[in-house]
């Protein structure tokens, strides 16, 4: 486990800023740090990170919240395990109706007919966090249209492209934590 390099930090922050915007400043504080173990980036309290230094790298499987991982090409991919952190600091949100929860959790995109409400100023291709109507985060994705354009869409049109949902815990349980 080691600190992120300056280039790695830049790539991670750019990706996270797509979902939380300027609220990323609340994630970077004196109590939590970002650490890299193998190719995965973890968000962990500084005290726990200090304790983890006594464990050898080979024996340390995971620590803190896994935000995502670096691909072999150097890109950063956000995992569903980062949902709680992203939802807490989310800039743009979409709430879906109960009839749209299951299709979303089975891996489908968010349709206009399933949208209960959405943030007022969502631009096109912005990172959004998907909630159910009881404010429980279900996943995240990218908006296909701005909020004003979405109002005029057909009910079967896609409002947000799904990138991850909590159904992945069951669908990808074999590979999610390896």
Provide the CATH number for the domain formed by 2-86 in this structure: 3.10.450.220
Predicted pLDDT of residue 178? 64
Each residue of 40-52: pLDDT tens digit? 999 999 999 888 8
Mean pLDDT to the nearest integer, 88-103: 95
Compute the mean pLDDT over every residue in the chain, rounded to the nearest whole number.
Answer: 91
Three-state SS sequence of the chain: CEECCHHHHHHHHHHHHHHHHHHHHHHCCCCEEEEEECCEEEEEEHHHHHHHCCCCCCCCCCCCEEEEEECCCCCEEECHHHHHHHHHCCCCEEEECHHHHHHHHCCCCEEHHHEEEECCCCCCCCEEEEEECCCCEEEEEEECCCHHHHCCCCCCCEEEEEEEECCHHHHCCCCCCC
Superfamily of domain 92-171: PUA domain (2.30.130.10)
Question: At residue 13, does pLDDT exceed 80?
Answer: yes
Each residue of 57-80: pLDDT tens digit? 888 888 889 999 999 999 999 999
- Confidence at 37, pLDDT banded by 50, 70, 90: confident
Residue 76 or residue 29, greater confidence: 76
Domain ranges for the chain:
2-86, 92-171
């Amino acid at each position: 486990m080691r600190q992120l390099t300056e280039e790695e930090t830049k790539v991670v922050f750019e990706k996270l800023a797509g979902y939380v915007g300027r609220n990323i400043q609340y994630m970077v504080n004196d109590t939590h740090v970002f650490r890299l173990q193998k190719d995965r980036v973890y968000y962990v309290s500084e005290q726990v990170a200090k304790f983890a230094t006594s464990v050898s790298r080979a024996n340390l499987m995971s620590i803190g919240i896994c935000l995502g991982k670096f691909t072999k090409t150097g890109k950063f991919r956000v995992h569903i395990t980062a949902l709680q952190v992203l939802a807490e600091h989310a800039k743009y949100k979409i709430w879906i109706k109960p009839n749209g929860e299951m299709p979303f959790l089975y891996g489908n995109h968010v349709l206009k007919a399933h949208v209960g409400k959405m943030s007022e100023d969502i631009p096109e291709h912005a990172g959004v966090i998907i909630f159910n109507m009881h404010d429980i985060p279900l996943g995240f994705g990218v908006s296909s249209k701005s909020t004003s354009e979405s109002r005029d869409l057909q009910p079967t049109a896609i409002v947000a492209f799904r990138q991850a949902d909590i159904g992945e815990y069951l669908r990808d349980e074999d590979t999610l934590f390896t």
